[in-house]
Amino acid sequence: MCGISGFLGWGRQPADEQIARRMTATLRHRGPDDEGYYVDGPVALGHRRLRVIAPESGRQPLSNEDGSVWAILNGEIYNYVELREALLRRGHRFTTESDTEVIVHAWEDFGEACVEHFNGMFALALWDARSQVLLLARDRMGEKPLYYAELDDCLVFGSELRALLAHPCVARELDFTGFASYMRNGYVVDPHTIVRGVQKLPPGHLLTVSGTKTRLMRYWDIAFPRSERRDESEWAELAWDGLCAAVRRRLVADVPLGVFLSGGLDSSSVVAATASVAPARKLATFSMGFTEATYDETPFAREVARHFGTEHHEFVFTAANAAALLATLGHAQDEPLADPAFLPTLELARQTRQSATVLLDGDGGDELFCGYPTSLAVARTPLLYRLPGGVFDAAARIVGCLPRSTRYGSLDFLLGHLFRAAAHPPDVRTQILMGGFTPAEQHELLSDEARVACDAIDAYSDVAGVLADAPAHDELDRLIYHHAKLYLAGRTLVKMDRATMAFGLEARAPYLDHEFVELACSIPSALKLKGWTTKYLLKRMMAGRLPASIVHRRKQGFGVPLARWLRGPLRPFLEDVLHPDGLTRTGLFSPRAVARLVAEHIGNKANHASALWTLVSFELWREAYLPGLRWV
Other CB atoms within 10 A of residue 391 CB: 9
5 neighbors 158 (Cβ within 8 angstroms) = yes
The active-site residue, picked from 2, 114, 244, 370, is 2
Cα–Cα distance measured from residue 161 to residue 334, given in angstroms and rounded to the nearest whole number = 6
Contact 31, 1 (CB under 8 A): yes
Give the β-pairing of 284-290 and 257-260.
parallel
> Under 8 Å CB-to-CB from 298, ≥6 apart: which residues?
263, 287, 288, 289, 314, 316
* CA–CA dist 305, 283 (Å, integer): 9
Q: Are strands 205-210 and 43-49 parallel, antiparallel or unpaired?
A: unpaired
Could you tell me which of 286, 408, 407, 267 has the C-alpha nearest to residue 347? 286
End-to-end CA distance of the chain: 42
Pairing of strands 34-40, 2-9: unpaired
Identify any residues that bridge with 39 across adjacent strands, giving them in sequence order: 44
CB 31 within 8 A of CB 504: yes
- Do residues 605 and 318 lie in contact, with contact meaning Cβ atoms separated by under 8 Å? no
What letter would DSSP give residue 294? G
For residue 469, the tally of other CB atoms under 10 A from its CB is: 9
Q: 3-state class of 380 per DSSP?
A: helix
- Cβ atoms 217, 206 nearer than 8 A: yes
The stretches of 387-455 forming alpha helices (DSSP H) are 389-401, 411-420, 426-433, 439-445, 448-455
Peptide bond into 61 cis (omega under 30): yes
- Reported as half-sphere exposure (CB side, CA atoms, 13 A), residue 308 has a value of 32
Are 543 and 306 contacting, i.e. CB atoms less than 8 angstroms apart?
no
| Pairwise CA distance, residues 514 & 519, whole Å | 9
Paired residues of 62 in beta bridges: 71
What span, in angstroms and rounded, lies between the C-alpha atoms of 626 and 174? Answer: 8
Say whether 2 is catalytic: yes
Q: DSSP string covering 314-361, please? A: EEEE-HHHHHHHHHHHHHHHSS----TTHHHHHHHHHHHTTT-SEEE-
8 Å CB contact between 195 and 172: yes
Q: Which residues fall within 8 angstroms of residue 132, CB to CB, at 6 or more apart?
A: 210, 211
Maximum pairwise Cα distance, the chain:
75
What ranges make up the beta strands (E) of 472-556?
Answer: 506-508
> Which residues face 71 on adjacent strands?
62, 126
Q: Is 121 helix (H, G, I), strand (E, B) or coil?
A: strand
- CB-side exposure of 554: number of CA atoms within 13 Å? 8
In whole angstroms, give the CA distance from residue 387 to residue 371: 27
Active site residues: 2
